[in-house]
């Protein structure tokens, strides 16, 4: 299942009645074995979720706007309410995304993310990954069950970066992340 992503907080729960067409949103969750979930990212983070006890998976596109709307914590709430997941059982993997050294602004961001935004030498930095991890732990995910590929899409040219392409003029692209429940 592929999403027409909107940089929001809509999460589509895939069941046997969900039509096999492109859905609109920024997250997918299912407990159907063999159903592949896919999203595309460039600097935003792909967030992989797996509850081995309830046999449910999720794949969430988390960028600035979605994180600000709490899409990452909303996914945990859906796992709890619809699939009876205990957050302590959920395993989380953060894929490649832009790091705080490279996610910079000339003006202070309008949203306050506390320690996840900071100023250094008149440049504002956003720690999107830190904000995501903080929200997940606040939602009950154990920090040792959150792993991180620790790859910055802006710095690592193996990955497309929306921000880097705007600055360098290189063609803009996305990479696809996929998860399937066996």
pTM of structure = 0.94
Query: Which segment of 11-20, 38-47, 84-93, 109-118 scores lowest on mean pLDDT?
Result: 109-118
Query: What pLDDT was estimated at residue 171?
Result: 86
The CATH class given to the 3-97+129-158 domain equals alpha beta
End-to-end CA distance of the chain: 15
DSSP state letter for 66: H
- The residues spanned by each domain of the chain are 3-97+129-158
pLDDT of residue 6 exceeding 90: yes
Query: What pLDDT was estimated at residue 30?
Result: 97
Query: What pLDDT was estimated at residue 18?
Result: 85
Residue-wise pLDDT tens digits, 52-89: 999 999 999 999 999 999 999 999 999 999 999 999 99
Q: List phi, psi (to 5°) of 156.
A: -95, 105
**32: number of Cβ within 10 Å:** 16
Residue 153, helix vs strand vs coil: coil
Residue 147, exposed/middle/buried by CB under 10 A (0-12, 13-18, 19+)?
exposed
Residue-wise pLDDT tens digits, 121-170: 889 999 999 999 999 999 999 999 999 999 999 999 999 999 999 988 88
């Amino acid at each position: 299942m592929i999403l027409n992503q909107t940089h929001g907080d809509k999460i589509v729960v895939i069941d046997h009645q969900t039509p096999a067409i492109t859905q609109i949103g920024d997250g997918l969750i299912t407990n159907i074995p063999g159903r592949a979930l896919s999203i595309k990212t460039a600097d935003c983070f792909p967030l992989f979720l797996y509850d081995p006890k309830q046999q449910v998976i999720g794949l969430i596109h988390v960028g600035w706007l979605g994180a600000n709307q709490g899409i990452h914590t909303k996914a945990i709430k859906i796992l709890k309410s619809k699939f009876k997941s205990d957050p302590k059982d959920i395993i989380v993997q953060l894929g490649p995304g832009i790091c705080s050294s490279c996610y910079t602004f000339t003006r202070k961001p309008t949203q306050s993310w506390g320690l996840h935004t900071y100023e250094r030498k008149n440049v504002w930095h956003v720690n999107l990954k830190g904000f995501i991890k903080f929200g997940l732990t606040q939602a009950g995910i154990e920090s040792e069950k959150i792993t991180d590929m620790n790859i910055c899409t802006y710095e690592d040219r193996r990955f497309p970066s929306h921000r880097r392409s705007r600055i360098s003029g290189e063609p803009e692209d996305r990479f696809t992340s996929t998860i399937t429940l066996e």
